[in-house]
Amino acid sequence: MIDLVLTGGTVVTEGGEARADVAIDGGRIVAVGLAETMPAAREQVDVAGHHLLPGAIDVHVHFREPGYTHKEDWGTGTAAAAMGGVTTVFEMPNTNPPTRSVAELREKRAAARKARVDFGLYGLLAEDNIGELEALAAAGVNAFKCFMGNTFGNLPSPSTGAMLEGFEIAAKTGLRISLHAETASIMAWRQERLEAAGIDHPLAHVAARPEIVAIEAVGRAAVLAEWTGARVHVLHISSAGELRPLAEAKARGVDITGETCPCYLFLTTADYDRLGSVIRVNPPVREAKDADAIWDALQSGLVDMIATDHAPHTPEEKINPVIWKADCGFPGVETQMPLMLTEVAKGRMSLSQYVKMSAGNPARAFGLWPRKGRIGVGADADIAVVDMGRRETIAAERLHSRARITPFEGRETIGAPVHTLVRGTFVQRDRTLVPGLEGHGRQVTDIQQMAQPAPRHVEESLEYLLAEARAA
């Protein structure tokens, strides 16, 4: 007797779609195929008429705990994920305290005990914790995060010198470094000039952070990655311009991946008047030509994946007539899948294309493939059961995040996850959160397998030179 069979659904893989039952035992998929081939199971759940997608893997969420639990905590953040068909999240280190030492990683892990979905944890790579990176890797961070530009949390951006040494060390661990790729000094300079001139309307935020900040940062990070052999990931791609250094780096063989987020696909500068400071996010939402270019890049695979940058803040923190005083970011982990499925329903892309960008590619980039990111024998039974005909209207008051505010308010969506399973357990069922599952989520460290790292220029690295000097 196995645990569960999902019967009558249509399984979606990167290669296509097929009617198939899915058998689950001990949290993993043990068979996919015709009904008559399924082993006997204690429970059968009829999902006829629905599509079975690998649960989304969102490598960019901010769950705010410890430190800012009035915005979100691990219970509410992972509730939103479960409702959104997201079965694994990677959580960012800009909490209070930031996740920059082993002690602080332990604090983060204690907060994450409330998780309902599986998770990875980021360790900070900053100016003042270069000496901690190796210990953080040994203690089980799943990736590093480098803030090249200022954003929520006000963590100082590392100098290029510190970044180079950080990249040398990260390269030896094989762990990927995710980059907030906006150059701090350009933005600080411009914002100061704009503020001094009394310019404080919402679009001034774009003027402080024109696409050159992203182009410069992506280009610089890519050459540091190329020199050191570090693996890097460009977070929240917002501009047409930064696609060029990304494409060039990939062409040179740099191990670089990129993500974009729904706000850069569905919103443009035309929305600033309507949304006011609610739309403020780093990097900023830009022009329609940027959204068009990012859509093309996502569909061609140049941009590897969709993430959300789920960045909850309260309405009071978001709404301010002075743009510089409004907190940056908004929740997204619950709305990504319905928004993207709407584009599938409209014919912009196939479900197979979608699962590659929402699950397969993030799993590959962060070492979770083939255990996660696909529906197939041997994989974890992380599944979003989707009703492609379901129409909903996004409303902040119905979201499960503690932050009841979204720039997607009122947007009509077609297609929604009606059940979410994490390792074979329903964490969401019939559009309702399943109670009692805080603590079901596990950190992915024991299943993460990053390919053998290939650091370069090791004899020129600071660590090597300093070790030689000490030995002499």
Residues 294, 369: Cα–Cα separation, whole Å:
25
Q: Is 179 in the site for ligand NCD (CB under 6 A)?
A: no
Q: Tell me the Cα Rg of the chain.
A: 22
Q: Is 180 in the site for Zn ion (CB under 5 A)?
A: yes
Residues 6+ apart with CB under 8 A from 300: none
Q: Which is nearer to ligand NCD, 153 or 370 (CB)?
A: 153
The letter for the amino acid at 333 is V
Q: Which is nearer to ligand NCD, 92 or 421 (CB)?
A: 92
Q: Is 152 in the site for ligand NCD (CB under 6 A)?
A: yes
Q: Is 83 in the site for ligand NCD (CB under 6 A)?
A: no
Task: Report what 407 binds from Zn ion, ligand NCD, none; CB cut-off 5-8 Å by kind.
Answer: none
Q: Is 99 in the site for ligand NCD (CB under 6 A)?
A: no
Q: Is 328 in the site for ligand NCD (CB under 6 A)?
A: yes
Q: Is 94 in the site for ligand NCD (CB under 6 A)?
A: yes
Q: Is 181 in the site for ligand NCD (CB under 6 A)?
A: no
Closest CA to 299 of 243, 222, 252, 364: 243
Task: Report what 191 binds from Zn ion, ligand NCD, none; CB cut-off 5-8 Å by kind.
Answer: none
Rounded to a whole number of angstroms, the minimum distance from the CB of residue 376 to Zn ion is: 33
Q: Is 279 in the site for ligand NCD (CB under 6 A)?
A: no
Q: Is 311 in the site for ligand NCD (CB under 6 A)?
A: yes
Task: Report what 366 binds from ligand NCD, Zn ion, none; CB cut-off 5-8 Å by kind.
Answer: none
Q: Is 104 in the site for ligand NCD (CB under 6 A)?
A: no
Q: Is 108 in the site for Zn ion (CB under 5 A)?
A: no
Rounded to a whole number of angstroms, the minimum distance from the CB of residue 444 to Zn ion is: 21
Binding residue for ligand NCD, selected from 62, 172, 372, 402, defined by CB under 6 A: 62
32 neighbors 375 (Cβ within 8 angstroms): yes
Helix (H) or strand (E) holding 465: helix 462-471
Beta strand residue intervals within 261-315, DSSP E: 305-306
Binding residue for ligand NCD, selected from 10, 78, 183, 282, defined by CB under 6 A: 282
- For the CA atoms of 425, 431, 436, 439, the dihedral, rounded to the nearest 10 degrees, stands at 60
Count the neighbouring beta carbons within 10 Å of the beta carbon of residue 26: 10
Scanning 26-34, 119-127, 179-187, 451-459 for contacts with Zn ion by CB under 5 A, the matching segment is: 179-187
Q: Which is nearer to ligand NCD, 129 or 308 (CB)?
A: 308
Residues 171, 177: Cα–Cα separation, whole Å:
9
DSSP 256: E
Q: Which is nearer to Zn ion, 180 or 402 (CB)?
A: 180
Q: Is 213 in the site for ligand NCD (CB under 6 A)?
A: no
378 neighbors 61 (Cβ within 8 angstroms): no
Give SS3 for 246.
helix
C-alpha neighbours within 13 Å on the C-beta side of residue 268: 11
Q: Is 329 in the site for ligand NCD (CB under 6 A)?
A: yes
- CA dist list (Å): 106 to 66, 101, 102, 121, 133: 11, 9, 6, 11, 15
Which residues are registered as beta bridge partners of 306?
Answer: 260
The residues that touch ligand NCD, with contacts defined as CB under 6 A, are 62, 94, 151-152, 180, 281-282, 309, 311, 328-329
The residues that touch Zn ion, with contacts defined as CB under 5 A, are 180
